[in-house]
């Protein structure tokens, strides 16, 4: 382990946060794999070490996503958040994610805390009040928050991007960057209208961010997290509005801010602080502490060595908010500690496609727990073993089956079961009384196996300390593989009658290895750990400091119980079918809604008939757009340079309202080559680029299905 990377031993206490889920829907396995399972695993590890840790999360109950969902369901925002807060809280509890507190941003305490942050920054002249133009829905007579604006993403052409983010490619956007923006309320094109807001000048913190992140976090933070921060900083930071024109949220605490609320990404992360405050209040009521104890976990202490360590567990789409914006807010406030690490995960895909709640392409946590109430550890195992720590990964039900059958059942379950069954069979459940630390007749293989217990303990600890949960779980399973190899090689069932003393050694070593498995797997698979401890009749609480110990099991143990069951093909098939059925049903609903709300565009009138000889005169070639630029005093025109074979031609095309110059460079298009040149706005346009119009009125290029050589003739 690099000495430059700080671990839990370097701090007196740790504050662990898990991203606040929006209270406008349920939790799916992508959420769990991304933020909550790694956070829960890490906190369980710290608790086993008797480390002082507080683990907080809660429902994010403000922002446009909530009000949009309320309008969609025809109920109030309050009814929405109450409904989904209950669902979220129960889903976490039923699955075994153990927060110290799961709070709500709709609470009075959160409102008070968030407003205090804003007021402190306001009084320090951190914000800049500006009047600018913002999209406004004339039909609904209201300004549109970012999530109330939908349009085409300029980066990936997704037609359903929001004004703040494209959920398909993950790009962070501003509303004016969208192509063909429309109001999510009325479906109409919004107009720009003046309004005033308070902005956080991110650029003022450029030097500090370079020093804090680029110079000091490169070795500690995941490459993807560091790289995204570096990209944002080097592209140049800009001011960002910290308020919104909405009637739902934390009101801006200023006299000239009527009808304005705090921006959700100022509001939401402060929810970690208010949650910790509420936890401290609860602790005091239970006689376990003082309501001021929250300060130890969030505020700078007189002696820096007494500062808590702050760890944020999030998905990669929230990196900019947790690594740049929130730290700037904490820095500007002045009293708060900064994140020590932000082990953000990438995305989890599902059966060859991205998880999509709008298309019902998801495995919902509450449905999984209801359908498989005894298989929580199985899902924990699979999601951790494929954790998207360094890149996007994929969950399939076939993977679920193979991981459980080949690894949990055949490796871990097999070793534990054989050990417990043989001790019960040979010794009536009494573990052989052998002190392995002083035994002089152990074989080299015995010693190698016992050394493996200590080696694997060190490897698991190292991986947990550095947030490498996937590798940590692998090392736990490696110990199970060591155990299987030990029993398979020593074959005690063949020696019981001829070498009973040797078998006693083998079974004692196997029992101690099994006990160590129970300890090492506990952060990952808590229920399985409990079952193994029960079988071994270990009544003391399993603590990390005894991992590697070879005197954990003594006396009489209990009978073997089944740890895992094989997953049959029928289960896999039914779950894949369920996904497909849900997706088909949802797509049908969306299609019907679209047909009800949109006008049916009749096919354009067919032009007069021509003869084949006329058609054969047309010369259409494949070309690549090499450059594009706007034309002065011509809002609809783009001047485009095409590469056709070894030559370049210029075309003036009236597509500026549909495409930005940057997004079309590199695209292959079909070019009508022998159209007579035409002068447009001083540009001699040579030929024409072919486009079609979709059902939304948006132009799309007519392009070859695969890349071909430029200049190729279309036949």
Residues 268-282 have pLDDT tens digits of 999 999 999 999 999
Q: What is the pLDDT of residues 429-465, one digit of tens each?
A: 999 999 999 999 999 999 999 999 999 999 999 999 9
Q: How far apart are CA 525 and CA 517, in angstroms?
A: 11
DSSP sequence for 341-356: E---B-PEEETTEE-B
Q: What is the structure's pLDDT at 542?
A: 96
Annotated binding site for Zn(2+): which residue ranges? 153, 156, 166, 169
Q: How far apart are CA 520 and CA 472, in angstroms?
A: 9
Number of C-beta neighbours around residue 133 at 10 A? 11
Annotated binding site: which residue ranges? 153, 156, 166, 169, 357
**171 or 50, which is more confident?**
50
Q: Say yes or no to pLDDT of 223 above 60.
A: yes
The domain locations on the chain are: 8-144+190-354, 412-546, 612-701
**704 or 321, which is more confident?**
321
Q: How far apart are CA 69 and CA 62, in angstroms?
A: 11
Q: How far apart are CA 142 and CA 151, in angstroms?
A: 18
Burial class (CB in 10 A: 0-12, 13-18, 19+), 85: buried
Contacts of 115 (CB under 8 A, 6+ apart): 250, 251, 253, 262
**Tokens 């110079």, residue located:** 215
Mean pLDDT of the chain: 92
- Average the pLDDT over 233-256 and give the result: 94
Specify the fold of 612-701: OB fold (Dihydrolipoamide Acetyltransferase, E2P) (2.40.50)
Q: What is the pLDDT of residues 683-698, one digit of tens each?
A: 889 999 999 876 556 7
CATH class of 412-546: mainly alpha
Q: Say yes or no to pLDDT of 72 above 80.
A: no
- Roughly what angle, to the nearest 10 degrees, separates helices 77-95 and 64-73? 100
Per the CB < 8 A criterion, the answer to whether 643 and 710 are in contact is yes
* pLDDT band at residue 604 using 50, 70 and 90 as cut-offs: low
Q: Say yes or no to pLDDT of 597 above 60.
A: no
**Tokens 């210029």, residue located:** 650
Asked: is 8-144+190-354 a CATH 3.40.50.620 domain? The reply is yes
Q: How far apart are CA 193 and CA 152, in angstroms?
A: 21
Number of C-beta neighbours around residue 186 at 10 A? 14
Nearest to 319 by CA among 338, 344, 302: 344
Annotated binding site for ATP: which residue ranges? 357
- Average the pLDDT over 29-38 and give the result: 98
Nearest to 60 by CA among 16, 98, 114: 114
8-144+190-354 with 412-546: one CATH topology?
no
């Amino acid at each position: 382990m690099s000495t430059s990377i700080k671990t839990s031993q370097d701090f007196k206490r740790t504050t662990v946060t898990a991203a606040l889920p929006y209270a406008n829907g349920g939790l799916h396995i992508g959420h769990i794999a991304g933020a909550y399972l790694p956070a829960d695993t890490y906190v369980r590890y710290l608790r086993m070490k008797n480390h002082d840790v507080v683990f907080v999360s809660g429902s994010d109950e403000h922002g446009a996503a909530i009000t949009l969902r309320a309008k969609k369901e025809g109920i109030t925002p309050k009814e929405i958040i109450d409904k989904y807060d209950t669902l979220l809280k129960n889903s976490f509890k039923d699955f075994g994610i153990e927060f110290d507190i799961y709070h709500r941003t709709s609470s009075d305490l959160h409102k008070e805390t968030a407003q205090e942050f804003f007021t402190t920054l306001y009084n320090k002249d951190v914000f800049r009040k500006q009047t600018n133009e913002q999209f406004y829905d004339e039909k609904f007579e209201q300004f549109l928050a970012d999530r109330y604006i939908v349009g085409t993403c300029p980066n990936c052409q997704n037609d359903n991007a929001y004004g703040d983010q494209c959920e398909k490619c993950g790009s962070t956007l501003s509303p004016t960057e969208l192509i063909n923006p429309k109001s999510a309320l009325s479906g109409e094109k919004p107009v720009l209208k003046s309004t005033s807001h308070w902005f956080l000048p991110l650029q003022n913190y450029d030097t500090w961010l370079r020093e804090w992140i680029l110079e000091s976090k490169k070795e500690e933070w995941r490459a993807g997290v560091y790289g995204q921060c570096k990209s944002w900083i080097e592209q140049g930071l800009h001011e960002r509005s910290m308020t919104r024109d909405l009637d739902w949220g934390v009101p801006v605490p200023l006299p000239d801010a009527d009808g304005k609320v705090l921006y959700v990404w100022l509001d939401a992360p402060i929810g970690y602080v208010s949650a910790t405050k509420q936890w401290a209040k609860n602790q005091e009521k239970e006689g376990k502490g003082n309501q001021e104890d929250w300060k130890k976990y969030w505020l700078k202490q007189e002696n820096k060595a007494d500062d808590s360590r702050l760890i944020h567990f999030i998905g990669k789409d929230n990196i900019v908010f947790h690594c740049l914006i929130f730290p700037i807010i904490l820095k500007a406030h002045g009293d708060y500690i900064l994140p020590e690490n932000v082990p953000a995960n990438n995305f989890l895909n599902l059966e060859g496609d991205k998880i999509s709640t709008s298309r019902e392409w998801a495995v919902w946590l509450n449905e999984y727990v209801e359908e498989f109430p005894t298989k929580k550890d199985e899902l924990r195992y699979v999601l951790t073993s494929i954790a998207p720590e360094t890149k996007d990964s994929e969950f399939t039900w076939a993977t679920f089956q193979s991981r459980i059958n080949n690894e949990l059942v055949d490796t871990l379950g097999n070793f534990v079961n054989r050990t417990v069954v043989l001790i019960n069979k040979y010794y009536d459940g009494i573990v052989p009384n052998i002190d392995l630390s002083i035994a002089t007749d152990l074989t080299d293989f015995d010693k190698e196996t016992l050394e493996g217990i200590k080696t694997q303990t060190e490897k698991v600890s190292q991986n947990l300390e550095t947030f490498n949960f996937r590798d940590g779980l692998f090392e736990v399973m490696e110990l199970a593989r060591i155990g299987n190899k030990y029993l398979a090689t020593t074959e005690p069932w063949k020696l019981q009658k001829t070498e009973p003393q040797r078998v006693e050694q083998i079974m004692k070593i196997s029992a101690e290895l099994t006990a160590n498995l129970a300890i090492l797997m506990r952060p990952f698979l808590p229920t399985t750990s409990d079952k193994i401890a029960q079988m071994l009749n270990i009544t003391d609480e399993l603590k990390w400091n005894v991992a590697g110990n070879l005197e954990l099991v003594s006396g009489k143990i209990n009978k073997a119980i089944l740890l895992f069951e094989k997953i049959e093909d029928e289960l896999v098939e039914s779950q894949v079918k369920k996904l497909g059925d849900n997706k088909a049903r949802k797509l049908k609903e969306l299609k019907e809604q679209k047909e009800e709300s949109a006008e049916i565009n009749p096919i354009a009138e067919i032009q007069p008939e021509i003869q084949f000889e006329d058609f054969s005169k047309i010369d259409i070639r494949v070309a690549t757009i090499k450059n594009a630029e706007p034309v002065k005093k011509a809002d609809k025109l783009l001047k485009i340079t095409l590469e056709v074979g070894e030559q370049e031609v210029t075309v003036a095309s009236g597509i500026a309202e549909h495409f930005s110059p940057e997004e079309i460079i590199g695209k292959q298009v079909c070019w009508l080559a022998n159209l007579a040149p035409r002068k447009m706005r001083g540009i001699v346009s040579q030929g024409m680029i072919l486009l079609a119009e979709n059902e939304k009125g948006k132009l799309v290029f007519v392009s070859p299905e695969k890349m071909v050589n430029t200049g190729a003739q279309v036949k």
